Structure 1
Amino acid sequence: MNFYKVIEEPNNNNYALIKERIAVRGVIYRKDKLLLVQSNRDYYKFPGGGVEKEESLEDGLIREIREETGYVNCQLIRKMGTVIERKIDEYDNNALFQMISVYYLCELVDEYKVSPELDDYENEEQFTPVWILPEEAIRQNQIMINQLEQNSFLKRESFVLNQLNQFFNKNK
């Protein structure tokens, strides 16, 4: 599996300045369920986030999975795909913000967990790791796409959930 998608908001061309962020996201299955992070705003997302300066993609993803889910012993298996989001930067109307999210199939080596180390906004949204059927997460995220004003991340996560669901259902 190797997916690629660009999600662009309308009217986001002709910008001289492009701000870019690279993020990594983990796809972790246990039997038929995915490890996702649930928000108190009733959406689901893959564990992951921005790669820090001087950090490898692998190290960044292992750190993000630990911070958001508490699972410590995770290994990357292979890259599954990339989604690029382009939109007007929310802090600078003269700039284009481009988020490149790289998704990796990962495996938990064991069940050892520590307490998650959430950022302020993650604490505010009470991020909680959950094992969920992909269909359930897809259904709930579709509802939330229509309710949340800033939702490009939900479009991204829903696209990936649908890609994974189709792939794994076809290969059962």
Structure 2
Amino acid sequence: MRQLFEIDLRDYEDSDRVISRPSARGIIFKDDNKIALVYSKNEKYYKFPGGGIHKDEDKKEALIREVREEVGLIVIPESICEFGSVMRRQKSNISPYTIFEQENFYFTCKTKNQIVEQNLDNYEAEAGFILRFVDLDEAISVNLAYKSEDYFNEIMINRETKVLQMIKDALCD
């Protein structure tokens, strides 16, 4: 998969241990050119539906599971196409002397015309994750205004905003 860009804050020591948590994320457009995104009602940001890849899953299996859990959409497996990846490296916000490394794999895909119940983790429920269909410009605008005391979240939303902008630019070409 092609690398879209890399985020490396270099805020860690080279001797620090590395924790790797790859993720799969869905780029899902509906017929009216709106994109399906997770909206955090409490934090006021948009992100692509998706999340961590379990050790017993491949990227596409994780994408299907995560999209269903976070937003209740059912991915059509044969519609999945690679878009690109973003590597993120920074000091862990949880474990001292640890580097958090996450390769985020983005896939375009289609979903069935039905929405099932979300199955959110505690932190996702606390953030107020809901499915929204929005235009790219609205999602980019909301994310550009996003500020948080949690620097870890800001880096994530900056990444998502940059990918949204890349998608917009590709559609305009």
Query: Please, what TM-score do these two structures have when normalized by structure 1?
Result: 0.91
Residue 170 of structure 2, aligned match among 138, 161, 167? 167
Q: Provide closer, same or farther for how the CA distance between residues 148 and 29 of structure 1 changes in structure 2, counting only shifts above 3 A.
A: farther
Match of 2:139 in 1: 137
Match of 1:99 in 2: 102
Match of 2:38 in 1: 37
Amino acid at match of 1:61: L
Match of 1:67 in 2: 69
Does residue 8 (structure 1) correspond to residue 5 (structure 2)? The answer is no
> How many Å apart are 1:61 and its aligned residue?
0.5
Amino acid at match of 1:113: I
> How many Å apart are 1:83 and its aligned residue?
0.6
Does residue 153 (structure 1) correspond to residue 156 (structure 2)? The answer is yes
SS of 1:111's equivalent? strand
Distance across 2 between alignment mates of 1:128 and 1:101: 21
Match of 1:46 in 2: 48
Q: Which runs of structure 1 show a deviation greater than 4 angstroms over 4 or more consecutive aligned residues?
A: none
Unaligned runs of 5+ in 2: none
> How many Å apart are 1:111 and its aligned residue?
1.1
Deviations 1:35-65 (A, max 9, x none): 0000011100000000111111111100001
Distance across 2 between alignment mates of 1:22 and 1:69: 20
Q: Is the 8 A contact 1:22 1:101 kept in 2?
A: yes
Match of 1:122 in 2: 124
CA RMSD, Structure 1 to Structure 2 (Å): 1.7
My pick for the range that moved more, 72-81 or 15-24, is 72-81
Question: How many residue pairs were aligned?
Answer: 168
Unaligned runs of 5+ in 1: none
Amino acid at match of 1:33: K
Amino acid at match of 2:103: I
Distance across 2 between alignment mates of 1:148 and 1:160: 22
